[in-house]
Amino acid sequence: MRFPMTTILGFSRRDLTGYLFLGPWLIGFIVFTLGPVLASLYLSFTRFDLLTAPRWIGIDNYVRMFTGDYRFWQALKVTFTYLLFEVPLKLAFALLIATLLDKAVRGGGFYRALFYIPSLLGGSVAIAVLWRQLFEGNGTVNQILHGLFGIQGPSWISNPNTAVYTLVILAIWQFGSPMIIFLAGLRQIPTDLYEAASMDGASKFRQFRRITLPLLAPVIFFNMVLQVIEGFKAFTPAFIISGGTGGPVDSTLFYTLFLYQEAFAYFRMGYAAALAWVLLLIIGGFTALSFLTSKYWVHYEDER
């Protein structure tokens, strides 16, 4: 052994110092993250109503979820509908604005900050309350529709056919963070490519399709994965707008909201823990799928 004097329990003193500095974080991680995660895995195999001790019931929670609970499927349906519209539209919108801002417009920094503001506010309770007032029966949106076109619009948030789309719009409105990432990506594309393309007479649209999109693919991919994960975790808007019910008629019953109801409204902690684990598996599955298919459409510059 090279450092017999300084080795304690197999750690060198240098390592120990490192762990010592890491300690506070590590303790926090074990106590507040890893511990609860493992506890929830255990609880997902129990029946637990908070007031009495958990009782082991094996895989019953999981069996019930897939065979005996239509609200589970409804929650999945709502969440996937939301993702299907929210992710592509938000990314398209973010890319559009980023492309416009990428041109050296005067006051570009100002507009960048301006467009980012909704992302800072959007997840808050206040904005969800505002959204409710915009899209209700006699809300602002309908007043504008009535004033401009004489159309009497429905109550968008209280109609099961339209409620989830008001939440999609709320999410798209928060396009700030993918926009910033797109902007950074756009700046990385060498300008000589565009110059060469214009020399050859390629139209702007063709340049966008043939140069911007392929070179931006890794950034699009990154944004997509991030947005899908965010989308699965969406909670606040649906909670506030539906008053915590996921209504009308379960049309805004996001998976997270369903989980919350099972846990904190009906005190089925065991079932809710099982739901959380299934959500984790779904998100993990989606991310894995994205990475597996990415090699067919994402090209990194250092690859040949």
Partner 1 sequence: MSSTTRRALVAGSAVAAIAAALGVDRRAYAQAGTRLRAFWWGNPDRDKRTRAALDAYKAKAGTDISAEALGWGDYWTKLGTQTAGGNAPDLIQMDYRYLFEYARRDTLLPLDKMSPKPLDLGTFADAARDCGKVDGKLYGVTLGTNSKAMVYDTAMFEKVGVKALDPNWTWDDFARIAGEISKIKPAKYWGSGDNSRWEQGFEHYLNQRGKWLYTPEGKAAFTRDDVTAWFDLWDKLRKSGAVAPAEIGASNTGAIDQYEISRGTAAMSFANSNQIVAFQGISKSKLAISVFPNEKGAASGHYIKPAMMMSVSAKSKAPEEAARIINFLVNEPDGVKALGIERGVPPSSIAQGLLTADLDDLGKLQLNYVSAVTKVAVALPPPPPKGAGEIEKLLQRVADSVAFGRASVKDGAAQFFTEVESILARA
For residues 122 to 151, the per-residue mask of contacts with partner 1, x marking binding by CB under 8 A and - elsewhere, is --------------xx--------------
> Contacts with partner 1 in 34-93 (CB under 8 A)?
50-52
Contact between 32 and partner 1 per CB under 8 A: no
DSSP per-residue letters across the chain:
---TTT-BTTB-HHHHHHHHHHHHHHHHIIIIIIHHHHHHHHHTTEE--SSS--EE-TTHHHHHHHHS-HHHHHHHHHHHHHHHHHHHHHHHHHHHHHHHHHS--TTHHHHHHHHHHHHHHTTSHHHHHHHHHHHSTTSHHHHHHHHHH------GGG-TTTHHHHHHHHHHH--HHHHHHHHHHHHHS-HHHHHHHHHTT--HHHHIIIIIHHHHHHHHHHHHHHHHHHHHH--HHHHHHTTTS--STTTT--HHHHHHIIIIIS--HHHHHHHHHHHHHHHHHHHHHHHHHHHHH---TT--
Q: Least CB distance from residue 135 to partner 1, whole Å?
A: 11
Contact between 157 and partner 1 per CB under 8 A: yes
Residue closer to partner 1 (CB basis): 182 or 254 = 254
Residue closer to partner 1 (CB basis): 57 or 180 = 57
Residue closer to partner 1 (CB basis): 218 or 244 = 244
> Contacts with partner 1 in 230-259 (CB under 8 A)?
242-245, 247-250
> Contacts with partner 1 in 262-281 (CB under 8 A)?
264-267
Q: Least CB distance from residue 243 to partner 1, whole Å?
A: 3
Q: Least CB distance from residue 147 to partner 1, whole Å?
A: 16
Q: Least CB distance from residue 270 to partner 1, whole Å?
A: 12
**How big is the site for partner 1, counted in residues (CB under 8 A)?**
25
Stretch that binds partner 1, among 30-38, 116-124, 157-165, 287-295 (CB under 8 A): 157-165
Binding site for partner 1 (CB under 8 A): 50-52, 136-137, 152, 154-155, 157-160, 242-245, 247-250, 261, 264-267
